Structure 1
Amino acid sequence: MANIKSAIKRIDVANKNNARNKMVKTEVKTSIKKFEAALNAGNIDEARELLRLVDSKLKNATNKNVMHKNAAARKMSALATKLNKAS
């Protein structure tokens, strides 16, 4: 455990950021799973709506510096390709 006051503060900040990052990543993964479930069930219209939700979650993650913007774009492109192949 840190003894210096500034090091203790940095540990607290790191833990807070870690919790926030974990929450954002979990939201992204959950929305992707919902999209893929709708796609596998054959609900194309519902999948389109969920794809818009996934896009907003990914952009939110990039704005918070949780995910790199190119990684988010790559995921979005792959999901859009899946939707286009299904429809």
Structure 2
Amino acid sequence: MANHKSAEKRIRQTERRTEVNRARVSRIRTFVKKVELAIASGNKDAAAEAFKAAQPEIMRGATKGVLHRNTVARKLSRLSARIKSL
């Protein structure tokens, strides 16, 4: 348990930040899943549309520090390559 006022504050901030970050990651996963389902169905238009919606959400993960920017680049690259191959 924290003994200092500043340490108690850091605990509160960390809890809040963790909650926000979890929500962000969950949202990103949902968008990626939608793209993957569209790819699995074989519908290129639906997949491209889902990818267009997912792209800014995934990029936001990088700017907010939830995901590393290289991870984001890799995910987007792989998804777009899979859509292209349909």
Counterpart in the other structure of 1:70: 70
Say whether 1:9 aligns with 2:9: yes
RMSD of aligned residue pairs (Cα, Å) = 0.9
Deviations 1:66-86 (A, max 9, x none): 111111000000001110111
Could you report, residue by residue, the CA deviation over 1:29-67 in whole angstroms, capped at 9, with x for unpaired residues? 111111111111122111101101121111111111111
1:48: which partner in 2? Answer: 48
TM-score computed with the length of structure 1 as normaliser: 0.93
Equivalences, count:
86
Partner of 1:32: 32
- Work out the CA distance in 1 between the residues paired with 2:55 and 2:26: 14
Corresponding residue SS for 1:2: coil
Please list every run of at least 4 consecutive aligned residues from structure 1 whose deviation after the TM superposition is greater than 3 angstroms: none
Inter-partner Cα distance in structure 2 for 1:22 and 1:53:
20
Offset at residue 3 of structure 1 (A): 2.0
Give identity over the alignment, percent: 34
**What letter matches 1:25 in structure 2?**
V
Whole-angstrom CA distance in 2 between matches of 1:37 and 1:67: 22
Where structure 1 has 5 or more consecutive residues not aligned to the other structure, the ranges are: none
One-letter amino acid of the structure 2 residue matched with residue 61 of structure 1? G
- Tell me the distance in 1 between the aligned counterparts of 2:17 and 2:43: 36
